[in-house]
Amino acid sequence: MKHKMLEKFGEVFGNTEEAKVYFAPGRVNLIGEHTDYNAGHVFPCALTIGTYGVARKRNDGILRFYSLNFEHLGVIESSLEDLVFQKEADWTNYPKGVMWAFQEKGYTIKQGMDLLLFGNIPNGSGLSSSASVEVLTGFILRDMFQFSVSNQDLALIGQFSENKFNGVNCGIMDQFAIAMGKEDHAIFLDTADLSYEYAPIKLEGAKIVITSSNKKRGLGDSKYNERRQECETALAELQEVIGIEGLGNLTIEQFEEYKSAIKDPVRQKRAKHAVYENQRTIQAKEALTANQLALFGQLMNASHVSLRDDYEVTGIELDTLVEAAWKVDGVIGSRMTGAGFGGCTVSIVKDEAIDTFQKVVGENYKETIGYEADFYVVEVGNGPVVL
């Protein structure tokens, strides 16, 4: 891959002198959905698929971007003087946003760059292609200009750029999972204070299978921000009766005791999901650590039901995939992952059932939805690296 990337960089930008090759992973969240902006826990892991980048410094302030995923767009030019969000800048708003965020945080970028990217994360799938590009860009800037920032800082800068530059009110999970990834481990992250621990993923005789619904979903124009607002309002109502910082602070018992403070039944359902999902995630981490894979799978299934019924972010595509998966022998657990409204499901499937799983779920999906789903049997990988 490194050789191929350098070759393409030479074709696009003239030569490969002083160019370096980098990689940042994608991520999948095993459980803990829509908890990361509710002061709850999440349980993601980095993947071995992700975003490759070739970059080199320029002697001027020009920025030249090229993506092998959007070759029809050609080279998109910008400059360090022009770090503003523009619709016509398309995907380059993500790397530009990170450069802007570094400048906002007091790191001076004195030279432009040529940057060529290739991602093998399915675009719009909910496996965090945008966060992968953000962490990759931050990692490149750190390496190029020797900025004194940690991987955790790269995650926070990536989130800041997505919130403030690209206008998507995302939580910290995606960038954190990508920047802090560790091979064969999931990250049990408390989003309230960013304390975390690594939990070994021991899936003897099983694999993580990601199924892409191939329904494209843009976070910014989905109902993501609306759900977030509903939770914030519910939290404010609860704060009138109990001293909490976020919905993730509540136990199930406390929520049931105080939920009548939430005036609207829809908001009550949203808050219920945030509280119950957080508790499921804590249990799931304990189950995985104790090697209780069957219990872990049951918690995944319950997570999907809650996302479907209480949070209402699944939709027919994801429900079709998950409900078909549940019927296949050898499926330990299956749920939607990511923001919802399209994107992907994550399933833990016994090795001997993987072919049947793909056949049964694939046929069922095509028959119901009218187009095909794609399957990815994935490995759990590390954070960003220089190749």
Are 343 and 215 spatial neighbours (Cβ–Cβ below 8 Å)? yes
Per the structure block, which two tokens stand in for 104? 């906002």
Per the structure block, which two tokens stand in for 308? 């479907």
DSSP letter string, 321-347: HHHHHHTSTTEEEEEEESS-SSSEEEE
Task: Return d(Cα 309, Cα 314) in angstroms, integer.
Answer: 9
* Residues marked as catalytic: 174
Find where tokens 């309002």 sit. 233
DSSP alpha helices (H): ranges in the chain? 2-13, 93-104, 129-145, 151-164, 173-179, 224-239, 252-258, 265-289, 293-309, 315-326, 354-369
Task: Return d(Cα 232, Cα 241) in angstroms, integer.
Answer: 15
What are the backbone angles phi and psi of residue 106, rounded to the nearest 5°?
Answer: 95, 10
Task: Return d(Cα 43, Cα 254) in angstroms, integer.
Answer: 23
Task: Return d(Cα 168, Cα 32) in angstroms, integer.
Answer: 19
Per the structure block, which two tokens stand in for 334? 């299956």
Q: Which amino acid is at 150?
A: S
